[in-house]
Amino acid sequence: MVNVRRVMIVLAFVLVIPWMRGQCQTKADGSVFRLAYTPRDKTIEILGGMTLPLSHDGITDFWLRGPSANVCLMVRMKDNFKVGIGAEAALFSFRLGAFNERYPGVTPEAKNLGLLHVYLAFRNYIRPSLRFSPYIGAQVGFARLTGAEQKEVINGVLITYYDIPGTTRLTFGASAGIDYYISRTTAVQLDIRGMYMNNDPNLGITASVQLGAKFSL
């Protein structure tokens, strides 16, 4: 009778231990892994980088790229889809050399341009359950461009060197980027985006490259 019990115990270990290993394997490859790296229900992104004006001539003639910053709050709607609201600011620096080349002998009034953009963001994650998670997205919002002008009256004639009025316009944008999770609550983020300022004769399209961090709330 004792031998039978020993045989049953041995068989139980033989059958149960592989099953337990299989369950651990499933969790490690599935739910536990997803729990660690799936985008959180609510996250906040803080990014910084450079923004470059690409069009039109009113901006590109005398202004070039400058620093930019971006803050965005995202809420998960589905495993791979998030919606959020954000704000970004950029500063375009005045090109003294370009002005002096076009208007030699004229003292420039070097005025930098600022851009403030408030937007709604829509984002689709391609591999949301992995530590390395690419995404593509779209934005729609409003942007305010600060104004700058330099004019002079010579012999009764008004000479305009540049005239950029302060305007607020509807914007559309597209973005692509990568999240790389370094812990359950923190990820490093690289974001590349383009923005179109609708029907603005001076600032048309901008491109931004920003790097920062994402934190779960």
The answer to whether residue 120 scores a pLDDT higher than 90 is: yes
Domain co-membership, 29 together with 123: no
Number of DSSP helices (H) and strands (E) in the chain, helices first: 4, 11
Q: How many CA atoms lie within 13 Å of 157's alpha carbon, on the beta-carbon side?
A: 4
The model carries a pTM of 0.80
Domains contained in the chain, number: 2
The percent of residues in the chain predicted with pLDDT above 70, rounded, is 82
Q: What is the CATH number of the domain that holds 171?
A: 2.40.160.20
The answer to whether residue 105 scores a pLDDT higher than 60 is: yes
Domain co-membership, 32 together with 121: no
Q: What rounded mean pLDDT belongs to the chain?
A: 86
Domain co-membership, 83 together with 115: yes
Domain co-membership, 152 together with 166: yes
Domain co-membership, 118 together with 25: no
Mean pLDDT across 109-137: 93
pLDDT of residue 11: 42
Domain co-membership, 181 together with 109: yes
Question: Is there a contact between 124 and 135 (Cβ–Cβ < 8 Å)?
Answer: yes
**pLDDT class of 130 with cuts at 50, 70, 90:** confident
Domain co-membership, 133 together with 202: yes
pLDDT of residue 9: 54
Domain co-membership, 27 together with 92: no
pLDDT digits (tens, 9 = 90+) for 58-93: 899 999 999 999 999 999 998 899 999 999 999 999
Distances (CA, A) of 12 to 1, 9, 201: 17, 5, 79
pLDDT digits (tens, 9 = 90+) for 25-69: 444 444 444 445 555 789 999 999 999 999 999 899 999 999 999
Residue 46, domain extent: 40-216
pLDDT of residue 184: 83
